[in-house]
Amino acid sequence: DSGVTQTPKHLITATGQRVTLRCSPRSGDLSVYWYQQSLDQGLQFLIQYYNGEERAKGNILERFSAQQFPDLHSELNLSSLELGDSALYFCASSVGGLANSEQFFGPGTRLTVL
Amino acid sequence: KNQVEQSPQSLIILEGKNCTLQCNYTVSPFSNLRWYKQDTGRGPVSLTIMTFSENTKSNGRYTATLDADTKQSSLHITASQLSDSASYICVVSVGIYNTDKLIFGTGTRLQVFP
pLDDT grade for B26, boundaries at 50, 70 and 90: very high
Residue in B28, B45, B97, B100 to test binding to A, most A beta-carbons within 10 Å: B100
- Peptide linkage before B44 cis (omega within 30 of 0): no
pLDDT grade for B1, boundaries at 50, 70 and 90: confident
The pLDDT value recorded for residue B100 is 67
Interval B86-114 mean pLDDT: 88
Beta strands in chain B (DSSP E): 3-7, 10-14, 19-26, 30-38, 45-51, 56-59, 62-67, 72-77, 86-94, 102-104, 108-113
Residue B112 has pLDDT above 80, yes or no: yes
Strand pairing category for A5-7 and B108-113: unpaired
The pLDDT value recorded for residue A86 is 96
Residue A56 has pLDDT above 80, yes or no: yes
Q: Which chain A residue is nearest to residue B101, measuring alpha carbons?
A: A99
Q: CB of B1 within 8 Å of any CB in chain A?
A: no
Q: What percent of chain B has pLDDT over 70?
A: 97
CA distance A88 to B52: 32
Cβ-Cβ contacts under 8 Å, A98 against chain B: 96-97, 99
The pLDDT value recorded for residue A16 is 97
Cβ-Cβ contacts under 8 Å, B99 against chain A: 31, 33, 45, 48, 55-56, 97-99, 101
Pick from A31, A57, A99: CB nearest B102: A99
Cβ contact (<8 Å) for A45 and B99?
yes
The pLDDT value recorded for residue B28 is 83
Q: Which conformational region is residue B22 in: left (phi greater than 0), alpha (psi within -120 to 50 degrees), or beta?
A: beta
Cβ contact (<8 Å) for B89 and A42?
yes
pLDDT grade for B44, boundaries at 50, 70 and 90: very high
The pLDDT value recorded for residue A75 is 98
Cβ-Cβ contacts under 8 Å, A97 against chain B: 99
Q: CB of B110 within 8 Å of any CB in chain A?
A: no
The pLDDT value recorded for residue B71 is 94
Beta partners for A91?
A: A34
The pLDDT value recorded for residue A1 is 83
Phi, psi of A20 (to 5 degrees): -130, 125
Beta partners for A3?
A: none
The pLDDT value recorded for residue B102 is 84
Q: CB of A104 within 8 Å of any CB in chain B?
A: yes
Nearest to A44 by CA among B22, B7, B36, B103: B103
The pLDDT value recorded for residue B37 is 97
Q: Which chain B residue is nearest to residue A104, measuring alpha carbons?
A: B45
